[in-house]
DNA sequence: TACGTTATATAACACATGTTATTATACTAC
DNA sequence: GTAGTATAATAACATGTGTTATATAACGTA
C-alpha cells in the first residue's frame, strides 16, 4: 500500500551518528539531519516519536562501537588485560566525542555503562591474579590504579589535551603498570 | 546624575557563577539570572555587552577559584608536589562542574590553562628532582605519569563516577607515586 | 523648578529548535 | 481504474533564548 519508503531508520540514525562523531550531540537537530539526507523533517518524526528517541538509538550505536573496540582487545589470551586498556585508549583517540559522551559526562544512560561493575570487575581481577600472583586484595587495588591511569590517558587524549602516538601510549601504560607491579612485589 | 544603581556587575556575575557551579553553563541564560536577581534582563545587558562577555567573566572567576586551590597546595615547602596533586583532585571534588569546564572540554579559553606548559613544567620537574634524585629525563617521565594518574582520579571524581573519600584519594595517590618511584629506582 | 542622563521595566523582535497540521503523492488491493 | 493508506513536503505553531526599541522614573545640575 505505501509508496516507496525513501528514508529508513537506519539512514537517519547513521546521519545523526556521524554528526555526533564529529561534533557531539550539540550538532544534532531535526533540520540538520533532514538537510543532510536531502529531505524534510517529516521522515524523521515518522520514524521516531521524538528527537529524544532518535538520540537514544544513536547512543546505543555509539556504545556498540565502544564494545567493538573492547571485544577486539579481549581476544588476546595472554595480554587481554593490557589490550583492553589499550583498546579503551584507542577508542578515546579514534572517537573522542563518543568517549566524552560515554565516560566524561554524567547522564542516566552512561551510569550503567561504566567499566568497573561488580561482575566483570571480579573476572578481570581473578584473571589478573594469575598473571601477577598478588593476593585478591592487592590485585583489586592494583586494578583500580591501572584503571585510573588508563582512564587518565584516555581523557587527555579525548579532549586533545595531549597528542600521544600509539607507541607513546603503549610505552607509557606498559612501563607504568610494570612499575606499579614492582612496587607491590618489591614493597612487601 | 544617575538614579541609584541596583544591580552591579559583581552581583550579576555571582548569580551566573553559582548557576554554573551547580549546573554548568547550560543552566545560564539572561532570563534565569534576571529572575534570581529579581529584575528584568535590562540590567544584564546594561552591564555586559552580551551574554558571551558575561560568560567569559564568569570563566575568569572560575579559573580564579582553581588558582586559589592550587596556590594553597603550593605553600607546603616539603610536600608541595604532593599537595598540588591533592589540591587538583580536591578542586574536582568540590567544584565538579568547574573542573569539567576547565579540564574536560576543549575550548579556546581552556587551551591556555592547562597544567603542563613548558615554563611551569620545568620548575616542577627540577623541584621534583631534588626529592627523587632521578635524572632530568626520568623525572620528566615520572612527572607525566603522576600527572596522568592525578588527572585520572580528578576526572572520575568530577563526573561522580567514583566517590573516593579524601583519605582514599590521598592513600591512592601516595601509594601509586611511591610504587612508580620504586619502579624507577629499582628497575635501573 | 526644569533638564538631561541613566538605570530599569515592558514589550517586542529575531532566530533556532521540537513538533504537528495540512496537503500532495504514489503505491497496492480490489 | 478507483480507493485507501503510507510517505513525504510545506508550512505553521510553540517554546526558549539573545537582544533591542521604547517608555518610565529617579537623580544631580543648572
Subunit contact B161:A187, Cβ cutoff 8 A: no
What is the spatial distance between Cα B157 and Cα A47, in angstroms, rounded to a whole number?
A: 39
Percentage of chain A with pLDDT > 70? 87
- Shared-domain flag, residues A36 and A118: no
Q: Are A173 and A82 in contact (CB under 8 A)?
A: yes
Nearest of A62, A147, A57, A70 to residue A100 by alpha carbon: A62
Q: Provide the sign of the torsion angle of the four alpha carbons A150, A152, A153, A154, taken in this order.
A: positive
Three-class secondary structure assignment of chain A: CCCCCCCCHHHHHHHHHHHHHHHCHHHCCHHHHHHHHCCCCHHHHHHCCCHHHHHHHHHHHHHHHHHHHHHHHHCCCCCHHHHHHHHHHHHHHHCHHHHHHHHCCCCHHHHCCCCCCHHHHHHHHHHHHHHHCCCHHHHHHHHHHHHHHHHHHHHHHHCCCCCCCHHHHHHHHHHHHHHHHHHHHHHC
What are B31-86's pLDDT values in tens digits? 999 999 999 999 999 999 999 999 999 999 999 999 999 998 676 666 878 899 99
Which of B104, B144, B186 lies nearest to residue A159, judging by beta carbons? B104
Q: Which residues of A touch B100 (CB under 8 A)?
A: 104-105
Q: Are B166 and B127 in contact (CB under 8 A)?
A: no
Those residues of chain A whose CB sits closer than 8 Å to some CB in chain B are 100, 103-106, 114, 116, 141, 144-145, 148-153, 155-156, 159-162, 172, 175-176, 178-184, 186-187
What is the spatial distance between Cα A114 and Cα A169, in angstroms, rounded to a whole number?
A: 22
What are A76-101's pLDDT values in tens digits? 666 878 899 999 999 999 999 999 99
In a domain, B71, yes or no: yes
In a domain, A3, yes or no: no
Interhelix angle B166-187/A166-187, nearest 10 degrees: 100
- Residue A42 CA, distance from chain mean position: 32
In a domain, A72, yes or no: yes
In a domain, A58, yes or no: no
- Shared-domain flag, residues B17 and B74: no
Interhelix angle B96-103/B136-158, nearest 10 degrees: 130
Q: pLDDT value at position B114? A: 41
Interhelix angle A136-158/A80-94, nearest 10 degrees: 20
Closest residue by C-alpha to C1' distance, nucleotide C10: B40
Q: pLDDT value at position B75? A: 67
Q: Is the CB of B41 under 7 A from strand D?
A: yes
Q: What is the CATH number for A44?
A: 1.10.10.60
What is the spatial distance between Cα B41 and Cα B18, in angstroms, rounded to a whole number?
A: 18
- Shared-domain flag, residues B39 and B92: no
- Shared-domain flag, residues A90 and A35: no
- Shared-domain flag, residues A148 and A72: yes
What is the spatial distance between Cα B129 and Cα A166, in angstroms, rounded to a whole number?
A: 28
Cα-based angle B115, B119, B123 (whole degrees, multiple of 5): 90
A vs B: CB pairs below 8 A: 100
- Shared-domain flag, residues A100 and A20: no
Grid cell digits, residue A26: 550539540
In a domain, A2, yes or no: no
- Shared-domain flag, residues B71 and B22: no
- Shared-domain flag, residues B78 and B152: yes
Which structural domain range is residue A13 located in? 9-48
Predicted TM-score of the model (pTM): 0.93
Q: Are A80 and A127 in contact (CB under 8 A)?
A: yes
Q: CA neighbours within 13 Å on the CB side: how many for A21?
A: 15
In a domain, A59, yes or no: no
Residues in chain B, pLDDT under 70: 1-3, 73, 75-78, 107-120, 186-188
- Shared-domain flag, residues B175 and B117: yes
- Shared-domain flag, residues A149 and A179: yes
Counting the structural domains of chain A, the total is: 2
In a domain, A129, yes or no: yes
Phi, psi of B75 (to 5 degrees): -65, -25
More confident residue, A117 or A17: A17
Q: pLDDT value at position A69? A: 96
Mean pLDDT computed over A17-36: 98
Exposure pattern of A81-93 as b/e (b: 16+ CB <10 Å)? Answer: bbbbbbbbbbbbb
**DSSP state at residue B104:** S
- Shared-domain flag, residues A81 and A44: no
In a domain, B4, yes or no: no
> For B179, left (φ over 0), alpha (ψ -120 to 50), or beta?
alpha
Task: Give the closest-approach CA distance of A1 to chain B in angstroms.
Answer: 46
Mean pLDDT computed over A151-173: 97
- Shared-domain flag, residues A29 and A74: no
Q: Provide the sign of the torsion angle of the four alpha carbons A82, A84, A85, A86, taken in this order.
A: positive
What is the spatial distance between Cα A41 and Cα A15, in angstroms, rounded to a whole number?
A: 13
Q: pLDDT value at position B176? A: 96
What are A52-80's pLDDT values in tens digits? 999 999 999 999 999 999 998 676 666 87
Amino acid at each position: 500500500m505505501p509508496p516507496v519508503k525513501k528514508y529508513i531508520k537506519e539512514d537517519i540514525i547513521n546521519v545523526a551518528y556521524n554528526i555526533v562523531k564529529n561534533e557531539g550531540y550539540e550538532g544534532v537537530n531535526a533540520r540538520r539531519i533532514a538537510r543532510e539526507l536531502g529531505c524534510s523533517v517529516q521522515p524523521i518524526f515518522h520514524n521516531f516519536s521524538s528527537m529524544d528517541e532518535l538520540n537514544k538509538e544513536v547512543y546505543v550505536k555509539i556504545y556498540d562501537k565502544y564494545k567493538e573496540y573492547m571485544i577486539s582487545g579481549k581476544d588476546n589470551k595472554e595480554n587481554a588485560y593490557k589490550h583492553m586498556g589499550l583498546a579503551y585508549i584507542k577508542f578515546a583517540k579514534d572517537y573522542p566525542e563518543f568517549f566524552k559522551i560515554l565516560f566524561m559526562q554524567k547522564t542516566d544512560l552512561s551510569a550503567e555503562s561504566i567499566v568497573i561493575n561488580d561482575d566483570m570487575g571480579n573476572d578481570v581481577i581473578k584473571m589478573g591474579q594469575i598473571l601477577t600472583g598478588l593476593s585478591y586484595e592487592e590485585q583489586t587495588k592494583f586494578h583500580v590504579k591501572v584503571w585510573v591511569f588508563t582512564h587518565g590517558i584516555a581523557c587527555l587524549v579525548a579532549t586533545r589535551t595531549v597528542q600521544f602516538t600509539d607507541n607513546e601510549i603503549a610505552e607509557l601504560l606498559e612501563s607504568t603498570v610494570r612499575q606499579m607491579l614492582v612496587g607491590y612485589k618489591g614493597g612487601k
